Amino acid sequence: MTTPPVLLQERLSKVPLLDAELITYLAHHAKEAELRLAVLERIEDETVLAQAAINDHTASVRLAALERVHQRLR
């Protein structure tokens, strides 16, 4: 079952307001790949990024996390 687009857009619009603990939680547990991608942009913890790059079940999220790890290493 997918999240209705209106509800997903509402959740995505709130990402900039979230604290670091909730951002990390969502990176690991959010059902929607779009939401996991959105919170990855706010994560600075290399461990969390590496975990997402290795363990996320969606290829686009794994790739985005890997790109963030590489950006932080430069």
* Per-residue buried b or exposed e for 37-61, using 16+ beta carbons within 10 Å of the residue's own CB: bbbbeebeeeebbeebbeebeeeeb
Residue ranges per structural domain of the chain = 5-73
Q: What is the pTM of this model?
A: 0.86
Q: What is the mean pLDDT of the chain?
A: 92
What digits encode the pLDDT tens for the residues 22-46?
Answer: 999 999 999 999 999 999 999 999 9
